[in-house]
Structure 1
Amino acid sequence: MLFLRRRATWWFFLIFAIAFCGASIPQEALGASNTKKASLAYSYYMMGLLFDFEGQVEEALKEYQKAAKLEPDNSEIRLRIGAAYAKLGKIPEAIEEFKLATQLNPDNLECHFLLALLYTTERKTDDAVHEYEIVLRKVAERDPENIQVRHYLGQLYFQQKKLDEAIKQFQAILSVDPKDVEALFFLASAYEEKKQHKEAIATFKKALEIDPKHGNSLNSLGYIYVEQGYDLDEAMVLIKKALEIDPENGAYIDSLGWAYFKKGMTQEALVELERAVKLFEDPVIYDHLGDVYLKLGDSDKAKEQWKRSLELKEEPSVKAKLERLER
C-alpha cells in the first residue's frame, strides 16, 4: 500500500493526531462513582496532561501510570499512556496500550485510529487496514450521508478485494450524488474486477458523460475494449485521450502498448511498454513485455520479464507461461 512508502509522513501525522487526542476528559469519565480513589486518579490524569502539554512526556507518562493503577479499566487513561509511549518512540508498548483501550471501549474511534497509524509505521499492513476499516465503518454508521467517509471505506474495500462491500459503498454515494465521477469510476472498476464487463462499460461511460476528461475512466474503458477484443481503434482513441491529459502515466502507456500488441503492431508495442515500465514498475506491464518479447522471438528476455512480474506479484497465468518456456 502506498502509505507504507511514506513512513515519515505518517509518523508526523501520528504525532499530530496524538497531540490533540483526549485533551479534555470530564472527571466523570474517570471512575464509575465520585469516590476518593476516582478523584485521585483524575488528579494524576490532569497532572499528566499538564506535563504532556509542557513537552515533559516522561513525567506525563508517570502520572498517567499512577492514574491507571487506580483506574486500570479506564480506556481514556490507557489512550494517554499509549500516546506517551508513542511520543517516546516505544511503539510496541504504545500498541499494547491502544489495543487495551479499544478492548475496554470498542467505540473509541481515537484509539482505533491511532492504533492504525502505529501499525502503519510498523508496516503491519493487515492490522492497520483492519483498524482503519473499524473507524470508517463506525463513522459511516453515525453519518450515513458522509460521502467522503464512504469514499475512503469503498476504496479500502476495493483494495482488499471485498468487491461487493465496495460496490455497496459507491452505490450509496451515488444515491446521494449521482454525478460523483470518482464514485462512478470505482464502481465501474469493481464491476470489472468481478468480470461484470457490461456493467463496467456502462458505468465508465456514465462517468465520461459527466467528465469527458476523466483520465482514469478513459484509460480503463479503453483497456477493457482491448482485453475483451472489442473495437481496438476506439480503444486507442480513448487511451490516447487519457495520455493527452497525463502523458507520463505509466499505466496509460501500458494500455497503449498492449493495444498495439493486440493490433499486431509488435515493435510499436515494445517501444511503449519499455517506456511504461520505466515510469511504473508493475507486474502487469512486465507480463505484457514478456508476451511482446516472446512474439519477437526473444525467449530469454521474455522469461526475464515474467520472472520480474512474479517477483512483484504471484500470478498463476504468468507462472504457467514461464514454466512452459523453461521446459
Structure 2
Amino acid sequence: MYHLMQADNKKLATTWYGSFLHDQPQTDGSSRALVEAVISEQAHSKYNWLEWIISLMEYSDNKNINYHNICNNFLFSLFVQYFQNDIIIQTRILLIQAVITWMEKLWSRSPDSADYVRFLSISNGMLGDLYLKLGDLSNALNKYQISLTNDEVLCLGNTNSLEFKRDLSISNSRLGNLYVKLGYDHKALDKYQASLNIAEELSRLAPDTEIYKRDLSVDYSQLGDLYLKLGDSPKALDKYQTSLNISEELHLRVPDSLEYASDLTISYNKLGDLFLQLGDSLKALDKYQSSLCIAEELHRLEPESAYCTRNLSISYDKLGDLYFKLRDSLKALDKYQASLIIREELYRNVPDSAEYARDLSISYMKMGNLYIRLSDPSKALDKYQASFIIAEKLFNSAPDSAEYTHDLSLSYNKLGDLYQELGDILKALDKYQASLTIAEKLFHHAPDSLEYAGNLSYINRELGDLYVKLGDPLKALDKYKASLNTREELRYRVPNSTQYANDLVLGYYTIMDFYHKQGKYSEFLKYAELCKEALQYIINNNMYMNESYNKLLSSLERY
C-alpha cells in the first residue's frame, strides 16, 4: 500500500485494499500505512493524505473491486484498530462521514443487501461515539438513533439472525448511556430494559455462548448504575448482584480469561460503590478487597500486562476512596500512593498514552485532596499543579475533546479551592474565573449535560463566596443566583435524584444566609420558606437527608 500511495495509484490501491478480509495481515499493513500517512499530515505534511484516502471511494463504479471487503476493512481495521488515539477527532469524523456517504451510494444500488444496512448502522454508531467525545450530545443522539433504526430494520427482515439481534441490543444500550448523560432517566431505563430483554433472549437461545452471557452481565450492571442514580438502592443491589453472579460463572467457566477476571473485579467494585453510598463501610471494604485480590493475582500471573497493571491501580484507588470517606487518612494515603506509583510507571513507559496520562492526573488530584485533609497545603499545591499540567497537556493535544476540556475546568477548580483555603483570594478568583470560562463554553455546547450543569453551578457558588470576602455583595448575589438557577433546573429535570434535591437545599440556604447577613429580612424570609419547601420535598420523597439538614429544618420552623 505504501508504494501505491507514493505512486499516487488510487485505482490499484483500492483494488488491493478490497482483495483481503479485515483480519488478514495484508489488510493490517495497508491500514497501518494509511493511518501513518494521516498522522504525518497532522504533523504539517504538505500532502493531504486524508483527501487521498477519501478519493479512493471514487472508484465505486468499478465492478472488479470487492466493496464488501473495503467496507469491512474501513470499519474494522482502519477505524477500530488504528483510528483511535493517534488521530484527532475532527479528522476521524470527516473520514467516517465520507465512508457513510459512500456506503449509502452502494446501498442504493443494492437495496436488498443486509450487509450494507449493517455497515451503515455500525458506521453511524461510530460517528455517534465521536460526537459524544466532543460533547456534542445532540449529534450523537441523532447518529445513535439512525443506527438503532437500521438495526431494527435488519431484525425485522432477519428474525432468526442472532448477530442482528445482538447489534440491536448494543444500539439500545448505547442510547441508554446517552440518555443518562442527558438526564432522561426514564428513556434510559426503557433502552436498558430493551437491551436486557434481547440479551436474555440470546442467552436463552445460545446458553453456551460466552459473549451473550457477558452482554447480559453488562446490561444488568448498567441497570444497577441507573437505579443507584435514581436512589433505588434495593433494585440497584439486585441488578449488581445478578451481574456479579454471571461474572463469577464466566470466570469459573474460563478461569484463564483476563477479560472475565477483570469483569469480576468491576462487579465487585460496583457493589463496593453501592455499599459505600449506603454507608455500609464494612461491606464496601469486603467487595473492594475481593476486587483487589483478583487484580493482584492477575498482575502476578501477567506482570508485563499493562491492562492487568492498570486494573490493579484502579483497585487501590477504590480502597483509597473508601478510607478517605472514612477519614482514615493514613490508610487512604497508602492506597493512593500504591495506585500513583503504578500510574507513574505506566505513563513513563508509554508517555503518548492519553489514558495513562489522564489516570495519572486523577491520582495527583486525589492526593491533593488528601493532603488538604492532612493540613499540608504545600504538598496539596504540588499535586494539584502536577494534575493541572497533565490536564492542560491533554487539552492542548485534543482541544475538541469535551472530556479533556471538563478535566481542565476541574483542575482550575481544585487550585481555586486551595488558594481560597490559603486566603489568597485573588489567585483563587483567577482560577475560578478560568474554570468558569471553560464550564460556560462546555454548557453552551451541550446544554443538556447534567455533568456540565453541575460543574457550572459549583463554580458560580464558589465565586459567590469569593466576592463576599472581597466585599462585593452585588457580584456575590449574582453568582449565588446563577448557581441556584442551575440547581433548580437540575432538580426539575431529575426529580428523583437525592443529590440534586440536597444541592437545591444548599442553594436556597446560601442565599437565605446571605440576606440574613445583609439585614434584608423580607428577602431572608422568602428564601427561608423556599429552603423549607426543598427540605420537605426530600422528606416527602423518602430521600436520604443528613443530620445537619434535619437540624436546619427544625430551626426554620420558627419563621
In structure 1, the residue matched to 2:338 is: 268
Q: 1:216·1:242 contact (CA, 8 Å) conserved in 2?
A: no
Change beyond 3 A, Cα 1:244–1:95: same
> In the TM superposition, what whole-angstrom CA distance separates every residue of 1:272-300 from its partner, at most 9, and x where no partner exists?
12244555533862454233442463221
Flag the 1:209–1:186 CA change in 2: closer, same or farther, 3 A.
same
Which sections of structure 1, spanning at least 5 residues, go unmatched? Answer: 1-10, 18-50, 56-89
Task: Give the match's secondary structure for 2:255.
Answer: coil
Q: Does 1:236 align with 2:292?
A: yes
Task: Answer yes or no: is the 8 Å Cα contact 2:251–2:260 preserved in 1.
Answer: yes
1:148 aligns with: 163
Q: 1:200 to 1:124 in 2, by over 3 A?
A: closer
Contact 1:147 1:173 in 2 (8 A): yes
Are the counterparts in 1 of residues 107 and 113 from structure 2 also a CA contact under 8 Å?
Answer: no
**Residues 148/115 of structure 1: CA separation in 2 closer, same or farther (3 Å cut):** closer
Query: How far apart, in 2, do the equivalents of 1:52 and 1:121 lie?
Result: 27
Residues 39-82 of structure 1 show CA distances to partners (whole Å, capped at 9, x for unaligned) of xxxxxxxxxxxx94467xxxxxxxxxxxxxxxxxxxxxxxxxxx
- How many Å separate the matches in 2 of 1:92 and 1:145? 27
SS state at 1:213 partner? coil
Letter in 2 for 1:220: D
AA paired with 1:255? N
In the alignment, what sits opposite 1:109?
Answer: 114
2:263 aligns with one of 220, 225, 240: 220
Shift, 1:13, TM fit: 10
Percent identity for Structure 1 against Structure 2: 9
The residue number in structure 2 matching 1:27 is none
Q: How many angstroms apart in 2 are the aligned matches of 1:287 and 1:176? A: 45
Contact 1:188 1:200 in 2 (8 A): yes
Residue equivalent to 2:403 = 314
Pair 225,325 (structure 1): closer, same or farther in 2 beyond 3 Å: farther
The equivalent of 2:249 in structure 1 is 206
Q: 1:289 aligns with which of 363, 376, 387?
A: 363
- The 5 Å alignment of 1:59-208 reads 94=102, 97=105, 108-113=113-118, 115=120, 133-160=148-175, 161=177, 162-194=191-223, 195=225, 196=236, 197-208=240-251
Query: Are residues 303 and 124 of structure 1, via their aligned partners in 2, closer, same or farther at CA, if it must alter by over 3 Å?
Result: closer
Structure 1 residue 303 and structure 2 residue 418: aligned?
Answer: no
Aligned 8 A contact 2:251 2:264 in 1 = no
SS in 2 for 1:178: coil
Structure 1 residues 247-256 or 185-194, which shifts more?
Answer: 247-256
Match of 2:312 in 1: 256
> Is the alpha carbon distance of 1:118 and 1:148 closer, same or farther for their aligned partners in structure 2, counting shifts above 3 Å?
closer
Read off the aligned partner of 2:403 and give its amino acid letter.
E
C-alpha contact (below 8 Å) 2:203/2:216 kept by paired residues: no
Q: Distance in 2 between matches of 1:13 and 1:241?
A: 45
Q: How many residue pairs align between the two structures? A: 247
| Deviation readout 1:84-115 (Å, 9 max, x if unpaired) | xxxxxx9797467458669xx5x653553465
Instruction: For 2:310, give the aligned amino acid.
Output: D
* RMSD, aligned α-carbons: 4.4
Relative to the length of structure 1, the TM-score reads 0.56
Structure 2 contact 221–243 (Cα < 8 Å) conserved = yes
- For normalisation by structure 2, the TM-score amounts to 0.36
Residues 313 and 123 from structure 1, CA distance in 2 versus in 1: closer, same or farther, beyond 3 angstroms?
A: closer
Instruction: Give the match's secondary structure for 1:314.
Output: helix
Q: Aligned equivalents of 1:307 and 1:118: distance in 2?
A: 31
Whichever residue aligns with residue 255 of structure 2, its letter is P
Q: Distance in 1 between matches of 2:316 and 2:126?
A: 42
Shift in Å, 1:215:
2.0
Assess if the C-alpha contact under 8 Å between 2:340 and 2:360 holds in 1: no
Task: Look up the SS of the partner of 2:403 in the other structure.
Answer: coil
